[in-house]
Amino acid sequence: MPLPADLSAILAAKHRPVDLPLITKAWEFASLAHSDQLRLSGKPYITHPLAVAKTLAAWDLDTTTIIAGLLHDTIEDGGATRTDLVTEFGEDIARVVDGVTKITNIHLTGSVESQFVENLRKMLLVMAHDLRVILVKLADRLHNMQTLQYLSPTKQMENARETLEIYAPLAERLGIGEIKGQLEDLAFPYIYPVQAADLQSRTKKLYAQSHVYIAKFRRQLLTLLSPQIPDVVVNIRQKHLYSLFKKLQRPDIDNDLSRVHDLTAARVIVNTPEQCYLALGAIHSKFHPVPSLGISDFIANPKPNGYQSIHTKVFGPEGQIVEIQIRTHAMHEQAEMGIAAHWQYSEAKSHGVRDKILQSGLIAAPADKLAWVRQLVSWQNEFTDSREYLRALKFDALQHRILVFSPIGDVYDLPSGATPVDYAYAVHTDLGHQTVGAKINGRLVGLDAKLQNGDVVEILIDRKRTLPNPDWLHFVVTTSARQEISKSVKT
């Protein structure tokens, strides 16, 4: 069974080399697993995994991720087992599919608050093991939201709410701005039907007018910038509807559309950061910046999720206020694809090294691999803070647990106050017994140091040691460490 032409075309247009025979094999496997199954739309079920795989291919992700997209529902709905997937496609692909299946079964809406927190924590743990699980899940959610009209009203509400409360913020925290915007706009009409319809009718004309205006302005910008910056690209960016909806609720905007100046913006893309400032200078010398609204330099001061760009508001032709965003191609890639863009790069760079390290069992890691994991942890913290109703919880499971990482990126979930010794016993009893020292984030620390969320913990061992130090009982906090130490001390 040949690969569908639309998927082949996307793969052929990408730079990343992919394993076409293996992707074709996965396509055949999925087609067989889902044969005779239909989506609620009445279309063959296989159209769904195919759509997911196409999205992942368009994001320029690797063979494993694209295949996981094709196979992501074969365990849940296609009657395949994890063992089948390991046999046919190897451990790596099976693990990603398994992770997606696990997340799919964790439902976040409709549950009571304490369960919600617990489920969210489980979900983050599954995702933290492999970023590709999140990317497949986001592509899956995107297609499910695009075909939401075929579900029952109750299911529509549930999925739309989950998308708005969990998946869109997740995409935002991971810096995948484009997907965040798409997910929000797809959920918006289901959650706020009246407001969405009203805003749509109020803005339809405005969007069309501002698009025409920016298209004209774009040509002027190109004429202005091209002589100084030969490869300059100018795009037109339209604000997502849900993002506009939220902006209109700000006190300084007060539901007044005439105060929104970035309905449509011009986006100037250049090769180097220096050229960004060159472009800014050229633009300001021709179009005056609006004094009260000013410029934001997110290149010098990036946003917490890594977003970089210069935003300036100027008086454009006919005195209209217009927003211009200036960035490099690399910043643009980062803004649209965030962590996924970073991962593509770091994965390609460190792949061989990481495999060798894992095989040799040496404790060392490419720092790149952990960067997104740390971001996930900081997202987890922010997320808890930003939820009004979670703030009200007296006992907050997220706050009282920490996630720490082994030097190769494995995740361990420990109670707050845990020490390197607790960590060592959580990994393995023998590691606990042989502990003689510890490093946190590469720095030597005492064995009673308190671990923090996101720490990378490395245990120094003496292989000749077989018994723990009874003094450790004074500071360990986990039951498992306490039990193992007491047991060994008594004998």
Q: Catalytic residue positions?
A: 76-77
* CA–CA distance, 320 with 317 (Å, rounded to integer): 6
Taking CB under 5 A as the binding criterion, the range among 138-146, 286-294, 358-366, 474-482 that sits at the site for Mn ion is 138-146
Q: How far is the CB of 167 from Mn ion (least distance, A)?
A: 13
Select from 166, 209, 210, 204 the least CA-distant residue to 187.
166
**Span interacting with Mn ion, options 136-144, 226-234, 342-350, 439-447, rule CB under 5 A:** 136-144
> Residue type at 49?
P
Q: Which residue of 130, 140, 162, 184 would you call a contact of Mn ion, by CB under 5 A?
A: 140
Q: Which is nearest to 131 in space by CA: 336, 342, 307?
A: 342
> What are the residues facing 445 on neighbouring strands?
438
Tokens for 335, please give them.
């803004």
Which span (69-77, 241-249, 259-267, 394-402) binds Mn ion, by CB under 5 A?
69-77
By beta-carbon proximity to Mn ion, the closer residue of 73 and 184 is 73
Smallest CA-to-CA distance from 343 within 459, 174, 216, 97 is with: 174
Amino acid code (one letter) for 309: S
Sign of CA dihedral 463, 465, 469, 470: positive
What's the CA gap between 63 and 249, in Å, rounded?
43
- DSSP bridge pairs for 461: 435
Give the type of residue at 55: T
CB of 65 to Mn ion, least distance (A): 14
**172 is a contact residue toward Mn ion (CB under 5 A):** no
* 3-state helix/strand/coil string of 111-127: CCHHHHHHHHHHHHHHH
Decide whether 46 or 451 has the Cβ nearer to Mn ion.
46
Nearer to Mn ion, 142 or 199 (CB): 142
Judged by CB under 5 A, the stretch of 70-78, 122-130, 305-313, 423-431 that binds Mn ion is: 70-78
Q: How far is the CB of 6 from Mn ion (least distance, A)?
A: 18
- What is the distance, to the nearest Å, from the Cα of residue 460 to the centroid of all Cα atoms in its chain? 33
34 versus 387: smaller Cβ distance to Mn ion: 34
For the segment 222-251, give every residue that binds Mn ion (CB under 5 A).
Answer: none
Least Å distance between CB 142 and Mn ion?
10
Which residue number, 73 or 165, has a Cβ lying nearer to Mn ion?
A: 73
Confirm if 384 and 428 have CB atoms less than 8 A apart.
Answer: no
Nearer to Mn ion, 147 or 238 (CB): 147
Nearest approach in angstroms of CB 72 to Mn ion is 6
What are 286-289's contacts with CB under 8 Å, separation 24+?
Answer: 286/224, 287/314, 287/315, 287/316, 287/322, 288/314, 288/315, 289/313, 289/314
Tokens 């398994």 -> residue: 98
Q: Which residue is nearest to Mn ion (CB)?
A: 140
Give the one residue of 73, 172, 185, 455 binding Mn ion; rule: CB under 5 A: 73
Q: Three-state DSSP class for 262?
A: coil
Choice between 45 and 242, CB closer to Mn ion: 45
How many residues sit in the footprint of Mn ion (CB under 5 A)?
Answer: 2
Tell me the closest approach of the beta carbon of residue 390 to Mn ion, in angstroms. 28
**Which of these ranges, 68-76, 199-207, 340-348, 474-482, lies near Mn ion under the rule CB under 5 A?**
68-76
Return the residues of window 272-311 that contact Mn ion according to CB under 5 A: none
Residue 388's CB: how many other CB atoms inside 10 A?
6
CB of 48 to Mn ion, least distance (A): 6
Binding site for Mn ion (CB under 5 A): 73, 140
